[in-house]
Every structure is written in structure tokens, then in C-alpha cells.
Structure 1
Amino acid sequence: MKKLIPLLLLLVLSSENTIAQQMTGIMPLRERAKLEDNVLQERLDKLLPELMRREGIDMWVIIAREYNEDPIARTMLPATWLAARRRTIMLFTDQGPEKGLEKLAVARYDIGKLMKGAWKPEEEPNQWKRLAELISERNPKKIGLNISPQFAHADGLTKAEYDSLMHYLPAAFKKKVVSAEQLAVNWLQIRTPTELELYEQISRIGHRIIAEGFSEKVVKPGVTTTDDVVWWYRERIAELKLTAWFHPTVDLQRANPGSGDSQRSFSQRPEVEVIMPGDLLHVDLGITYLGLNTDVQQLAYVLKPGEKKAPDYLKKALNTGNRLQDILTSKFEAGKSGNQVLKETLAQAQKENITPSIYSHPIGYHGHGAGPAIGMWDQQQGVPGTGDYLLQYNTVYAIELNAKVVLPEWNNKEIRVMLEEQAVFTPNGVRYIDGRQKELLLIPRSKTQ
């Protein structure tokens, strides 16, 4: 893993640098492509055989068509492949610990340097017949297909492709076809040590973008609207040659009755409001970089004239949100289901007189990743199906939640302390990948921020 580090060209930056200077550590597209392919090669060589043996699937067939790619296939394409080509079939066969994994592309092309082409149309014009030949020659015990009632990520085999495969597959092998749901979910959710190291850099970039937007550089109290900040974030992310995987949210809560829609539904966009001194701002923002995603929510306070710090009652409210995070992560344990973790967290929070709402999820190749759901904002009694999946080590989670807090100083108004950070679940517990927010961002920024 350490040998990859010289390739990273990542952020080795002092805290004295400005945010703008820090952002220069983002890699050029050509260097990103090299790194992404190296990381993928490592996953295919080391992680995938382990996962296939764990699930008892010795052959995995993934079929994708151009512009209708299986979500799994997209995670296995070289960085310079922006889509599958014609019909692309990936055939992975576990030949045992000594020989390792055979990786073939039943397609007109090699898949970069990752998978060798195994179909010559000049010799066998029918791609399905060639696939059936390769399967017969390898005589697998179980053939995994991406069919899943629970996860869209693992349900990428279309009806037409399934019908064609079953038409050409010899009868003896039809009986060996099984769902690859668990294998697909684990491929998506489990991160390698190299990826976890990269995730620290990716998360740091996301945090710095948030801090830059929640600063006097962008926010002019009495002039700037919440929507102005949203679009600043979109422009900034594009300027850095990154991707926003969802449209950011910026909203506010304030003391004035009727201002700051703290009770809005999660299914609604917040109202556009002019940002004023004394407002508590909230952002929800996610970027994609090096094939991995972030999903972060943080809070900022707009100082009133003469103020140098946020009011103590808002700091205390943030502490309540941090305590809810601690309760949630303390309940993580391998072998527990997402629903079990949710139930235990809500029970403990209520014992501590915290009014909680938990909606955490795996994150990685997808922002809302495959794996155990730990609540949803509208399903606090548990999430059928996906919430029944068991927690696995080396999964990155978006620790997403909110705690309701009543502020006497705001005429007993109830606010939501909405927080979200990336954390990895390991045998040593849960670790925030690039830390978490424990102090409110200030506008204008203090010299220590």
C-alpha cells in the first residue's frame, strides 16, 4: 500500500495555508485515472477472490449493455471507460487459492489491462454461445447473477439479458444459477486499506469546500441568500474538476418566530432566505473524487456585530448532536443488523433525554451505498430488508442523524442539530475518517479556523 503513495499527489499541506492553496492538491485527470486503475486492480486481485470464497460462489457473471450498465459493472471498468461497449460480459472464475481468480471479458474488446478478451466474433459470431462454452469448460458449482429484490445496486441484470443467457446456458448449469446479492453488496461496501487511506484525503477536500463556502468569502449577511451559497458550492466543485453527486442543500434556523424552516419535511427543498447575523446555517453536500463519494452535513453560526464566538447555548446544542453520534457509533458491532443498531441507539438516546432521528447508510462507490441501512428519516421503526443486513468491517458509513433541541433563548423554539460525517467501521471500533464537527464554523471566520 505504501508503494502507491508517491502516485497519489495528495494533500500534504500545513494548517497555515489558505483554503484556496489547499485545494491545489487535487490530482489532474490523467493521474487520477492511473491511480483509480491501480486501486481497482488491487481490489480485483485481492478482495474479490476473498469475497467469492466467503459466499461460496466460484463464478460471477456480470452482463452490461452500453448506456444501460449494471451498477456493479460500472465499478469494474477502467477509468478511461465512461460506459460499457456494446454488450460487455465480465466472467470471474475462482480457480482456488493457488491459481487465483481468472478474469475474462466475453466481449469484442479487452477491458483495459484488467480483463482479457475471450470472444472472437470471427470464430463464433454468437456472443451468448461463446459465453455458454466458457461456462461449460470451467464447470462451476455456483453461478452468481446480479439479481436482488433488496438492493438496486445488486439488481443490474436486465430481463432481456437474463432470458438470453438462460436460453443458451446448458440445462445442467441452469440449476447452478444463484443470486449474487450478498457478493455484490460486499463488493460495493467493503473498502481496502488503500481506499481507506484515499478516503481521508477525499473527506478532507469535502470539508474544506464546506468551510470555504461557510466563510466571509461567500456569505455577506443581509445580502447573500441560502440559494446563492448552494450555487456557489456547485460552481466551486465544478471549478475543482470534481462532481457533486446531489444538489447541495443550504438552509437556516433563527430565533425569529416563523423564520428558518426547521420543521420542513426531508422530502422538501428549504425556502430561499437572506442570511442574517445570528442565523444558524446548515449545509448538506457530497462530492465524488477518485470514484468514491462523501456525504457531509455541518453547521455554521453568523456572528452578530460585536460577537467573537457563538452563543454557549448553540455550542451546547451541537454537543447534544455529538453525543447522539457517540451513542450510535458505540452500538456498532459485527453481526448486528442495521435495524438492531437503530433500535439500541434510539433507546439509549431516549434514556438520556435526547430526541433523536437516525438515518445512516454505507457510502463508497455510491453516495447511498449498498449494505445495512441504519434507519431512514421516515422509517424510525426499522427498514425492512436492507435494515436486516449485518454490519461488516471495513465499511464506510455516513453517520447521518439529527437531534431536536429546545432553545429557551429563542423563545423555546425547537431546532434540529443535523450532522453527517464519514466514518469507517473496523475491528477496533468506529473511526471518523477526517474527524467530525465539534465546533460551529463561524462567519466571519476566526483566526483559529
Structure 2
Amino acid sequence: MKKLFPLLLLFLSNFPSAHAQQIPAILPLRERAVVEDALLQERLDSLLPQLMRRHGIDMWVLIAREYNEDPVLKTMLPATWLGARRRTILLFHDKGPGKGMEKLAVARYDIGNLMKGTWNPEQEPNQWKRLVQLIAERKPRKIGLNFSPLYAHADGLPKAEYDSLVHYLPRAQRKALVSAEPLAVDWLQTRTEQELALYEQISRIGHRIIAEGFSEQVIQPGVTTTEDVVWWFRERIAALKLEAWFHPTVDVQRADPGAGDSDRSFARRPGADVILPGDLLHVDLGITYLNLNTDVQQLAYVLKPGETEAPAYLRQALATGNRLQDILTSNMKAGKTGNEALRETLAQAQKEQIVASIYSHPIGYHGHGAGPAIGMWDMQAGVPGTGDYVLRPNTAYAIELNAKVTLPEWNNKEIRVMLEEQAVLTPAGMRYIDGRQKELLLIPRQISHLQD
């Protein structure tokens, strides 16, 4: 943390303790831009050389045009660049250990303070010829390009741009062209120490928004509908000058009036159910702040008259979901593939008679991030391709899953305990970034629900 810049230190110092319930302070847009650019500078200076050497790529070329931005290139633009300009070409050249990294823009101007512009159209009108000249001068062994059959994130090079590059590139240099897929994936999934420090606060903001929405401030049982709460979340996020990277969902599970109502055995979503006392509410919500995303699912119980806590059987259902989280995170270790972690988790859950479904994923620059998939809701036998990627340290994951629980008290209705929280893989194992839900949120009485 020694390299934390002053504004970031000020940002972190403005946050209340972990158990305070108010929304933490959020930076104005101008100050966010300073933080975002400093984070990117650190990544380009320190992280990028490590990743390029890990994958043996000594030159990485990223090409995009305005309105058709490469997903990776977009993460490398300054905060005031909201997209590519005309044709944007970035060239990163690793000169070798101790020799430094060149960060060039094949453009008529610099890209902020991050990349030096290296194209003068008055001297060479053809942008492609200038790019080829820069490549020839550096004689790279491997030139990484962003094309990938597995990840949309790493497949951002348009065919027309690829064809133009190959057209101008001498035949001998074409042999150096390789897919930059593993490099792009690691760039997107690896979080720096500074980003992880921020992620805790960003996750806390998301948790506090959920706690506000699942409270008597928003929900009046018998009047408020699930769609009312969904749009309250959208408005609240917008009012905080944040973004929702997907439209939230709020759904209800409740006791059936009689047996045999199998078509209503799971949460009904989407819909506009009126929220009633005795309901088990579920939300799925994600925010974007400082270029990082959250993806959280939590549960709340609407108290019946005279109740001061949720029924024991619902508390036990949540505990079953927590146990499934424990099984999954204990199997997430660096060097394992996502499919291995999935198989081991489902096998252990079966031994413990937990009816489990696992669909966890990396998270960071993108909500559904690049990196090893650990199941998908419709692929519980393993995910071909992306599930074969190995887990790496300093990757944040959305620990997303559900456990099916049968409730005799609800006429043997089967419910899903749907949970999702951010966690990071550290050398010591998985760590929840801002805790996880271990108690149901209560409406109307709100309680602290996040524990380490």
C-alpha cells in the first residue's frame, strides 16, 4: 500500500466503520477521474510487464475504431476518453527485464499522460504503414492480437482491422502473430493492491444500497410491489451518480396455501407481486464505480405482526446456503481449474445432502468477467473452455450459487436460497471483500447482516 496516492488515501479515510449503515462517501466525477487514471498508470507500469512476460508476448497490439471499442482497449483509456477516437492503436513493447516497457499510441497525439503518440500524418499519411514501421524497428518474437474463440472480452479485434494489418505486415512478421487471449484474460481479471483496497469500499456501497431498499424506508407490506423496489434501486443508484450494469431483479418466495402448487415452487421473477408479511424477498443487484463492478444477491424477510425475527426454518435455510458458500470457497485454490473447483464442490455438497447449483464467475472491469468459470446455471457438469482456465491469485469472484431447501412449514415447498457476494483469491485462500450475508435482513426492523 506504499504507493497509494494522496487522493485515494483521502477517499478511503472518508468511509465509516464496517457496521455503519449509511451510504459511504462517493467521489465527485472530477476526483474519480484522478483516481481512475492513477490506478491505470499503476497497472500499466507494474502489472502489464509481469503479465506479458508470464505469457511470453513481447509486443501487444490493440486496435479499435470509434463506436466499436475493443473491451480490453477500453480499460486502458484515460478517464476523460469515453471511447476510441477515429482509429485508436495501442502498442506495448516489452524490451526485456531491466530495460523497461514502451507504451505507444499510433496516433497523432498522446493518449493522456499514459501513452506517447508516435504518428505524424504529415510525414507518413498511412497509419498502417507507421504501425508496421514501429513493429519492424522492434523485431518482436510474438505479437499478441485480441482474437479469441472463448472470451468475448479478448476477441475485440475486428476482422477488417485484422485484414488491414495483415495486408501491410511483411510476410516474415506475420508468423509472429498470436492470440493474446491468456494475456487479455489476465489483464482483465487481475486486481492490484490498490484496486482491492477500493473494492472493499465499493462493495460496501452496494451492500448499503440493498439494506436501504430492503427496509421500511422503501417497503410498505400490502402496498409496495417487487417492481416498485426494482425501480427504487435504479433511481437510488442514479441519484448517487453510479451505474447499474444490469437491471436489478426483486422476487418473492412465500408459503403456498396448499400442497401440490409445484409451478410456484421457486421464486417468481420477473413480476409485480405485492409484498406481504411472511414473504422471503430476494434481490440481484450490481453497481459500477471507479471502473469496478459488484454483483450481489441477498435475502430479506418481511416480519408478520408480533414477530421480531425470522422463523427458525428460514434462518436454517440461509445457514444451508452459507455452508454451500463455505464448501465452494474451500475448493477455490490457485492452480485449480474452474471445472475442478465445481466438481469438488458439488461432490461435497451431495455428501452433505445439499441440493446445490453453482454458477460463480470472475468480476472486476466487467460484471461477468474474464477468467475461469465455475459452473453456469445450465452447465453443472462443467463449462467447456472457460471452465478449464486456472484460478489465479488477486482475482475477484462473484460467489454465486443456490441451495434448494424443502420447507415442511410451507407445505413442503421447495425454495432456493440464492446468494452472491464478492470474494478475492489470496495466498491464504478466499476472502470476502466486504463480508457476506449470514442473517436475513428484516423488514420493518433493519439489523446488521454482514459478517466476516
Q: TM-score band, normalised by the shorter chain? A: over 0.9
Question: Does the CA-based 8 Å contact 1:253-1:260 persist in structure 2?
Answer: no
C-alpha deviation, 1:97, in angstroms: 1.9
> Which residue of structure 1 lines up, in the alignment, with residue 276 of structure 2?
276
CA distance in 1, matches of 2:219, 2:186: 42
Structure 2 SS opposite 1:91: strand
C-alpha deviation, 1:445, in angstroms: 2.1
> Which residue of structure 2 lines up, in the alignment, with residue 12 of structure 1?
15
> Which residue of structure 2 lines up, in the alignment, with residue 150 of structure 1?
150
C-alpha deviation, 1:426, in angstroms: 1.2
Residue deviations 1:363-386 (CA, integer Å, cap 9, x gap): 000000000000000110111111
Question: Does the CA-based 8 Å contact 1:373-1:387 persist in structure 2?
Answer: yes
> Which residue of structure 2 lines up, in the alignment, with residue 443 of structure 1?
443
Structure 1 SS opposite 2:238: helix
CA distance in 2, matches of 1:227, 1:408: 29
C-alpha deviation, 1:110, in angstroms: 1.0
> Which residue of structure 2 lines up, in the alignment, with residue 416 of structure 1?
416
CA distance in 2, matches of 1:385, 1:6: 42
> Which residue of structure 1 lines up, in the alignment, with residue 44 of structure 2?
44
Q: Give matches, 1:237-386, under 5 Å.
A: 237-257=237-257, 261-263=264-266, 269-386=269-386
> Which residue of structure 1 lines up, in the alignment, with residue 398 of structure 2?
398
C-alpha deviation, 1:263, in angstroms: 2.9
Q: Give matches, 1:163-242, under 5 Å.
A: 163-242=163-242
Structure 2 SS opposite 1:204: helix
Tell me, yes or no, if structure 1 residue 137 matches structure 2 residue 140.
Answer: no
Structure 1 SS opposite 2:401: strand
C-alpha deviation, 1:175, in angstroms: 0.4
Among the aligned pairs, what percent are the same residue? Answer: 76
Tell me, yes or no, if structure 1 residue 84 matches structure 2 residue 84.
Answer: yes
* Matched residue count: 443
Structure 2 SS opposite 1:60: strand
The amino acid across from 1:382 in the alignment is G
Question: Does the CA-based 8 Å contact 2:21-2:208 persist in structure 1?
Answer: no
The amino acid across from 1:416 in the alignment is R
Q: 1:236 to 1:116 in 2, by over 3 A?
A: same
The amino acid across from 1:35 in the alignment is V
C-alpha deviation, 1:259, in angstroms: 10
Question: Which 4+ runs in 1 deviate beyond 3 A?
Answer: 14-18, 257-262, 446-449
Question: Does the CA-based 8 Å contact 1:251-1:260 persist in structure 2?
Answer: no
Structure 1 SS opposite 2:399: strand
In structure 1, runs of 5+ residues without a counterpart are none
Question: Does the CA-based 8 Å contact 1:253-1:259 persist in structure 2?
Answer: no
Question: Does the CA-based 8 Å contact 2:320-2:354 persist in structure 1?
Answer: yes
Q: 1:223 to 1:260 in 2, by over 3 A?
A: farther
Question: Does the CA-based 8 Å contact 1:322-1:438 persist in structure 2?
Answer: yes
The amino acid across from 1:136 in the alignment is A
CA distance in 1, matches of 2:47, 2:28: 27
The more displaced of 334-343 and 412-421 is: 334-343
Question: Does the CA-based 8 Å contact 1:252-1:261 persist in structure 2?
Answer: no
CA distance in 1, matches of 2:164, 2:149: 21
In structure 2, runs of 5+ residues without a counterpart are none
Question: Does the CA-based 8 Å contact 1:261-1:271 persist in structure 2?
Answer: no
C-alpha deviation, 1:327, in angstroms: 0.3
Structure 2 SS opposite 1:111: coil
The amino acid across from 2:63 in the alignment is I
CA distance in 1, matches of 2:109, 2:246: 33
